[in-house]
């Protein structure tokens, strides 16, 4: 796919970006043009796919749900076909986090879109939502609480200006609660109360902590809160804000209808009726649990957050760098040694990237991050610390990283020493298995070369690669004067035979 600027206006300072959010209720796409640092939306598409409604009893997406999603994506694909991959971000949220067969859907989706699909963790979703909201509100001082009710989860963020301070994602959403409490569409006061009570029980895990933190303003985003706000405004129950009193009035109006098919509330679209009772029940439980009297609405949400996060990556303000630096500090990594390992690994990468197909910048970044974090497991135990490092990288909340990103960097940490864990790399997507085996080899070699932690600089080493072979060339007689390194490299050559790679040392 071409990397040229795709701006149709021939403005050399203009870049077209796209964000696609595969939500549990709706799929959204936004295209925007970045011109001289300013983001201007130029096209928005949204379809009610209700992916979460297609999760069966075994937590697998049904064929019908997958087809709904893929049909939608085939329409989205036409709008992004000419964009470079670095300009497109596609993320899946709670329904795909829950689905056991998410990988099957992802493979089909990626073939349609021509761009990798990322499944993001709940707290990463919350971070991106906050980023989208913060960029669409006035840059006021004071803490704000942001609430986003989705189809399968609800995110809660306390932050100030552009920095989130508390991030949570709870397992309640308008689609999942519709399946649970209104499966046949019948509306009753008893069902509504059960749904509201379930939401309040879910909120117990964060209620006290959030109320102690406090906030000076409260903002909601996305479809459910937008629909409630519009309904209140059209009914004359409030101005542009949602109040607890107005929401109660809307709830009473809702209970006048026997089923979702009967709902006749001005501004509520037909496709929103099915999930409206569950959405109002969740919102009612939130306002009561957190003591919220007034909730404003923001047009910004996850897709806007994705766009601004992409801008940060393009302008080298990548939140992932901050995350890695925080990990290094938290686990007291020996940064001097880690930096040396990183330097040598990246020197090797620069020499072999063309021959080994590792040209993409993300391969450079992953090798860099793994070099700096592969020792974090030492905080837990020196024994098998590479496994502890991998576990922490795989299971920690890492802002900016998708679940796949974490799996990939964890695979490098897991494989950086001792026997090569070939089975671990078979768990990666097929098209990434070979590149990450090769990145792991570079990390392993670098770790061995710095095993002694000597203050003496390494000599200039030439890395040459072709197919399943890596050749290391050292200055004359250097290996003779460093027998331990020679022995380590010979042992490494034996380890790499397990994955059918040859290490030649000269």
What tens-digit pLDDT sequence spans the chain (506 residues)?
Answer: 333 333 333 344 458 999 999 999 999 999 999 876 678 889 999 999 999 999 999 999 999 999 999 999 999 999 999 898 888 999 999 999 999 999 999 999 999 999 889 999 999 999 999 999 998 887 667 899 999 999 999 999 999 988 999 999 999 999 999 999 999 999 999 999 999 999 999 999 999 999 999 999 999 999 999 999 999 998 889 888 999 999 999 999 999 999 999 999 888 988 899 999 999 999 999 999 999 999 999 989 999 999 989 888 777 667 888 899 999 999 999 999 999 999 999 999 999 999 999 999 899 999 999 999 999 999 998 889 999 999 999 999 888 888 889 999 999 999 999 999 999 999 998 889 999 999 999 999 999 999 876 667 889 999 999 999 999 999 999 999 999 999 999 999 999 999 999 999 99
Sign of CA dihedral 264, 266, 268, 270: positive
Domain at 14-120+306-310: CATH code: 3.30.420.40
State both tokens at 164.
């989130």
Domain with CATH 3.30.420.40 in the chain: 14-120+306-310
Start-end of H helices in 58-188: 63-80, 94-98, 102-113, 122-134, 174-181
- Contact between 155 and 224 under an 8 Å Cβ cutoff? The reply is no
- Contact between 75 and 63 under an 8 Å Cβ cutoff? The reply is no
**In whole angstroms, what is the distance from residue 78 CA to residue 244 CA?**
43
Topology of 318-457 in CATH? Answer: Hypothetical protein af1432 (1.10.3210)
Report angle CA 197, 300, 65 to the nearest 5 degrees: 65
Cβ neighbours of residue 97 under 8 Å, at least 6 residues apart?
119, 121, 122, 152, 403
Topology of 137-298 in CATH? Answer: Nucleotidyltransferase; domain 5 (3.30.420)
- Contact between 280 and 247 under an 8 Å Cβ cutoff? The reply is yes
DSSP bridge partners of 145:
158, 218
**In whole angstroms, what is the distance from residue 257 CA to residue 263 CA?**
6
Instruction: Give the closest residue to 129 by CA, choosing from 219, 225, 221.
Output: 221
**In whole angstroms, what is the distance from residue 106 CA to residue 109 CA?**
5
State both tokens at 232.
């209140």
Domain with CATH 3.30.420.150 in the chain: 137-298
State both tokens at 123.
């707290």
- Contact between 88 and 314 under an 8 Å Cβ cutoff? The reply is no
What pLDDT, on the 0 to 100 scale, is given for residue 10?
39
Cβ neighbours of residue 292 under 8 Å, at least 6 residues apart?
145, 218, 244, 286
What pLDDT, on the 0 to 100 scale, is given for residue 1?
32
Instruction: Give the closest residue to 88 by CA, choosing from 171, 20, 2.
Output: 20
Burial state string for 158-180 with b = 16 or more CB within 10 A and e = fewer than 16: bbeeeebebbbbbebbbbbbbbe
Residue 197: helix, strand or coil by DSSP? helix
Q: Residue 289, Cβ neighbours under 10 Å: how many?
A: 19
Instruction: Give the closest residue to 171 by CA, choosing from 110, 225, 97, 109.
Output: 97
Q: What is the CA 38 to chain-centroid distance, rounded?
A: 24
The model's pTM is 0.80
Domain with CATH 1.10.3210.10 in the chain: 318-457
What pLDDT, on the 0 to 100 scale, is given for residue 8?
37
């Amino acid at each position: 796919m071409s990397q040229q600027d795709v701006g149709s206006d021939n403005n050399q300072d203009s870049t077209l970006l796209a964000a696609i959010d595969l939500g549990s209720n709706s799929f959204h796409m936004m295209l925007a043009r970045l011109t001289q640092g300013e983001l201007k939306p130029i096209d928005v598409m949204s379809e009610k796919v209700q992916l979460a409604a297609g999760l069966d009893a075994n937590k697998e997406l049904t064929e019908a749900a997958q087809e709904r999603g893929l049909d939608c994506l085939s329409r989205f694909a036409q709008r992004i076909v000419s964009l470079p991959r670095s300009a497109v971000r596609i993320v899946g949220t709670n329904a795909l986090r829950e689905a056991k067969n998410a990988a099957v859907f992802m493979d089909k989706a990626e073939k349609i879109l021509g761009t990798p699909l990322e499944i993001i963790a709940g707290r990463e979703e919350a971070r991106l939502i906050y980023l989208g909201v913060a960029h669409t509100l006035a840059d006021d001082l004071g803490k704000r609480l942001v609430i986003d009710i989705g189809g399968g989860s609800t995110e809660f963020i306390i932050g100030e200006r552009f920095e989130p301070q508390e991030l949570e994602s709870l397992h309640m959403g308008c689609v999942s609660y519709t399946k649970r409490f209104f499966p046949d569409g019948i509306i009753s006061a008893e069902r509504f109360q059960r749904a509201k009570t379930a939401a309040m029980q879910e909120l117990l895990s964060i209620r006290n902590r959030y109320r102690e933190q406090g906030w000076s303003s409260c903002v909601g985003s996305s479809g459910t809160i937008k629909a409630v706000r519009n309904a209140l405004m059209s009914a004359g129950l409030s101005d542009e804000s949602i109040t607890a009193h107005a929401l109660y009035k809307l709830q009473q109006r809702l209970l006048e209808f026997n089923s979702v098919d009967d709902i006749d509330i001005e501004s509520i679209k037909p496709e929103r009726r099915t999930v409206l009772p569950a959405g109002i029940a969740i919102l009612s439980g939130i306002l009561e649990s957190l003591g919220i009297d007034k909730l404003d609405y923001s047009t910004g949400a996850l897709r806007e957050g994705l766009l601004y996060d992409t801008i940060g990556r393009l302008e080298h303000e990548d939140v992932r760098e901050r995350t890695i630096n925080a990990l290094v500090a938290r686990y007291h990594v020996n940064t001097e040694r880690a930096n040396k390992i990183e330097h040598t690994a990246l020197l090797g990468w620069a020499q072999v990237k063309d021959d080994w197909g590792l040209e993409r910048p993300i391969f450079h970044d992953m090798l860099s991050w793994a070099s700096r974090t592969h020792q974090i497991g030492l905080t837990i135990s020196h024994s098998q610390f590479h496994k502890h490092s991998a576990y922490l990288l795989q299971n920690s909340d890492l802002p900016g990283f998708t679940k796949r990103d974490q799996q990939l960097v964890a695979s490098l940490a897991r494989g950086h020493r001792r026997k090569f864990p070939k089975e671990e790399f078979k768990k990666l997507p097929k098209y990434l298995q070979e590149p990450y085996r090769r990145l792991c080899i570079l990390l392993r070699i670098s770790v061995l070369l710095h095993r002694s932690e000597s203050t003496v600089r390494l000599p200039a080493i030439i890395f040459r690669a072709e197919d399943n072979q890596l050749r290391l060339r050292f200055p004359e007689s250097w290996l003779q004067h460093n027998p331990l390194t020679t022995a380590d490299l010979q042992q490494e050559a034996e380890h790499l035979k397990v994955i059918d790679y040859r290490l030649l040392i000269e």
